[in-house]
Amino acid sequence: MRHSWKIGRIFGIDIFVDSSWFLIFILFTWMLGSQYFPQYKGWPAVLYWMMGAFTSLMVFASVLIHELAHSLVAIKHGEKVKNITLFILGGVAQISEEPKEPVEEFVMAVVGPLASFAIGGILFLVSLLLAPLSRPFGAAFFYLAIINVVLAFFNLLPGFPMDGGRVLRSIIWRITGNIQKATRVASLVGQGFAFFFVFIGVLRILSGDLTGVWLIFIAWFLNSAAARSYSQVKAAGILEGVKASDLMTRDFETIPGTISIRALVEDHILKEKERIFLVEGEGRLEGFVCLEDVKRVPRDDWDVTPVRAILTPKEKLDSVSPNAAGNSIMSKMASGNVRLVPVMEGEKLIGIVCHSDILKYIQLRSDLKI
């Protein structure tokens, strides 16, 4: 199971490190300590590994600055940025909603590579200044300058959801006025690049170069991200004009948080055929639990896991009004990583929108070709 840890807060944005980051950190350190720095002869062996670890950290500091550039532009355009997470393939900023205009998308997308180019140029100058004073640090900053320029060019490839793909989408969106069509074209280009990377990766593996495995892994990520991004935009289009009142479930009951998941399933979900329940403890509302929360727990653990362990706490829930737009609710769930949203009329809870409610509505509209 993947986890992430908060390591700080910059400009009001929480910074997290995903568990997968440690794998790439170790890989980068090994590659630099065993291959890059040993080309500089005469250093103590331990220094190669120390500089490898330092340079690896600085690589991800550069990635963080790249993502911060995206985030600050998003904030300037009125978007909310909940956090930035560093993971095995770099970093991702969790922005509340998709850009509302093509120009906004263009600016948000292009600023990341521009930041990487700028970092590369600055670090190159730093490497020139440090080289006469400290060969190890001069070599480290020279490598970092190259990596940032490579990162900038890679992100400018016109394959969605990379920055270049978002630039391409913004241009097509501006020309056609149709974000779904623009996303479809940019996603297909992104999938095309993924297949190209697979081809190059296979050729490298056949020639004995195991870095081809890394290219295939990047291709898999790019292909799945492109397909997922298009699905999200398509779903948002289906939900256009749909309100919370059209999606919400009005019937739910209260259960104690101390009962086991098996008791919840057998005594409530199956008997009463309900999917969403309020959870109470000591006379106060603790949160909500729905069928999707249950499905994420292995069946062998149902007897020993209390409902309280899987609920969504009320503090994490951001309520909406009955007239709230369906696509904004979907974005709220994605950005907040929650599975349900309460619908309030004043101080009164009148319904709940669960993630499964949105999926069922989208599937129904798709089946009817509406």
User: Which residues does the annotation mark as catalytic?
Assistant: 67
Kindly give the pairing relationship between strand 81-87 and strand 13-18.
parallel
How far apart are alpha carbons 55 and 33 in whole angstroms? 10
Instruction: Count Cα atoms within 13 angstroms, Cβ side, for 302.
Output: 13
Token pair of 343 as six digits? 């619908």
Instruction: Count Cα atoms within 13 angstroms, Cβ side, for 320.
Output: 24
Using alpha carbons, select from 40, 108, 98 the residue that is nearest to residue 71.
108
Q: Return phi, psi of residue 156, to 5°.
A: -85, -5
Instruction: Count Cα atoms within 13 angstroms, Cβ side, for 263.
Output: 12
How far apart are alpha carbons 171 and 101 in whole angstroms? 11
CA dihedral 103, 107, 109, 112 (to 10 degrees): 180
Please check whether residue 150 is in contact with residue 185, taking contact to mean a CB–CB distance below 8 angstroms: no
124 C-beta neighbours (distance < 10 Å), count = 16
Please check whether residue 152 is in contact with residue 95, taking contact to mean a CB–CB distance below 8 angstroms: no
Please check whether residue 358 is in contact with residue 329, taking contact to mean a CB–CB distance below 8 angstroms: yes
How far apart are alpha carbons 159 and 199 in whole angstroms? 16
How far apart are alpha carbons 322 and 18 in whole angstroms? 36
Using alpha carbons, select from 220, 247, 199 the residue that is nearest to residue 361.
247
